[in-house]
Amino acid sequence: MRTKPPGPAGVPLFGNSRQYARDPFTFLASVEAAYGDVVRFDLGPLETYLLTNPADVERVLVADDATYRKPDFQDDAIGTLLGDGLLLSEGETWRKQRQLAQPAFSPDRVSSMDELIARHAREMVDAWEAGDLRDVNLDMARVTVRIIVEAMFGSKLTDEQTRTIQEHLEPLGQRFEPDPMRFLVPDWAPTRENRAYRDSVRTLEGVIDDVVAERRGTEDDPAVDPAAGSADGDEPMDLLSILLRAQRRGEQSDDQLRDELMTMLLAGHDTTALTLTYTWYLLSEHPSVEARVQAEVDEVCGDAPPTAADARDLDYLERVIQEAMRLYPPVYVIFREPKVDVRLGGYRIPRGSAVMLSQWATHRSARWYDDPEAFDPDRWLPERRADRPRFAYFPFGGGPRHCIGKHLSMLEAKLIVATVAREYELDAAREGPLDLRGSLTMHPEEPVSMRVRPRS
């Protein structure tokens, strides 16, 4: 048995980082197709092992979860941004914070947010006019950031705050795009990129500070909780109210509060906005699928605002969104670091190395999907997915650290699509495939311009 997995040859110092930075998506797909279950390569000084077999993915995320940790080999910039929030924290800190946050994402509370989501979607559509040329990615980001702040912070963003957030997301995204030179430049170096990044972090912290200042003293008032299921006399269960009460008990420092809110602000809207963006793109490329979505929305929702109950009956739309997240997973790689030497796929992987799990590579593999490049929502019918390995699809991660907001994200996506699809079709302004860029999440390289056209 070989002890070292196969993989592409790299160059001194940089390894394969230049290939990866140039086009991470082509690189990941090509090494998966060429080398199979376990692929070894170097990202600069980082020894990396890509796992592409769903059985190994499940083992890392679920069965042997305790053997792995979130990596400490990533640069300090992500720590500056998200700190010890749910996405990056470890051990007892993560367990305490996850347990504290869980009531904000309970099924009943998420379902009761349907009116809030539908209202924001309606306000977005009311601002459109037939013939408008919209940057759909920007519109989806605006509506989802407004939803997450009201749903989880019990606050409403002003137009100025919304613009401020959007303007400062771009420098944050650029900081995490693959760059083979970055490991040579320390985060404290006064480069233009580092300065822009730090300025954006400070600006977003200012928005969060304003929201917290507005909310202090209201954390016991049920009227601030936007979830309709909050009965009179109950404590509000939006995330910010929960955290402020914990801080009052001495269980939450100012830094921890900031980290959780920054994590929720960014991670809580970005992936949903991207899912919607890629869904609209795919619907514009497949008119027959779009027509089926419209027919289902008409039948299930009628003329009333869509509800959580309606969302449960939008079966075809759910398959469309699942297929969009298969082809265009907003989170396209997950990293773990083994605490001890482990054996995966028959190979020894040393502790402290980088274990990469790639949704992009696994979701598009011909080993797990027939015609994997095709957009086929019906591949998610129960009879067609029955024999597929469970972790051939993991857009929300898996195991104890699966995305806490996945049910809210799916409800948002369904209700926003339903609200738009009842009135409009969105037609891509240009034909051809999307150009993509990697960062913490997978973004379109250019604005996704689409024409607003009344339904025919």
pLDDT in tens, 115-139: 999 999 999 999 999 999 999 999 9
Q: Report residue 5 CA to chain centroid gap.
A: 30
Would the pLDDT of 232 be above 60?
no
Q: Where are the alpha helices (DSSP H) in 17-90?
A: 17-22, 24-35, 54-58, 76-82
Banded model confidence at residue 234, pLDDT cuts 50, 70, 90:
confident
Report the candidate in 197, 21, 24, 36 with the shortest Cα–Cα distance to residue 7.
Answer: 36
Q: pLDDT tier at 87 (50, 70, 90 boundaries)?
A: confident
Higher-pLDDT residue of 367 and 171 is 367
The pLDDT mean for the chain works out to 92
Determine the Cα–Cα distance for residues 145 and 137; give it in Å rounded to an integer: 12
Burial class (CB in 10 A: 0-12, 13-18, 19+), 370: exposed
Q: What percent of the chain is modeled with pLDDT above 70?
A: 94
DSSP 161-205: HHHHHHHHHHHHHHHTS--TTGGGS-TTS--HHHHHHHHHHHHHH
Interval 380-394 mean pLDDT: 96
What pLDDT band is residue 1 in, cutting at 50, 70 and 90?
very low
- Cβ neighbours, 10 Å, residue 150: 19
pLDDT at residue 185, rounded to an integer = 60
Place of tokens 């898996």: 398
**Structural tokens at position 170:** 């771009």
Collapsed DSSP state (helix, strand, coil) of residue 48: strand
Per DSSP, the three-state class of 323 is helix
Whole-number Å distance between alpha carbons of 58 and 51: 10
133 touches 453 (CB < 8 A): no
Chain center to CA of 260? 16
Assigned fold of 17-454: Cytochrome p450 (1.10.630)
Q: Helix (H) and strand (E) counts for the chain?
A: 18, 12
DSSP for residue 40 = E
Weakest mean pLDDT among 260-264, 381-385, 430-434? 430-434
Task: Give the residue extent of every domain in the chain.
Answer: 17-454
Surface-to-core class of residue 321, CB atoms within 10 Å of its CB (0-12 exposed, 13-18 middle, 19+ buried): buried
Q: What is the mean pLDDT of residues 224-240?
A: 77
Residue 75 has pLDDT above 60, yes or no: no
Average pLDDT over residues 63-67: 96
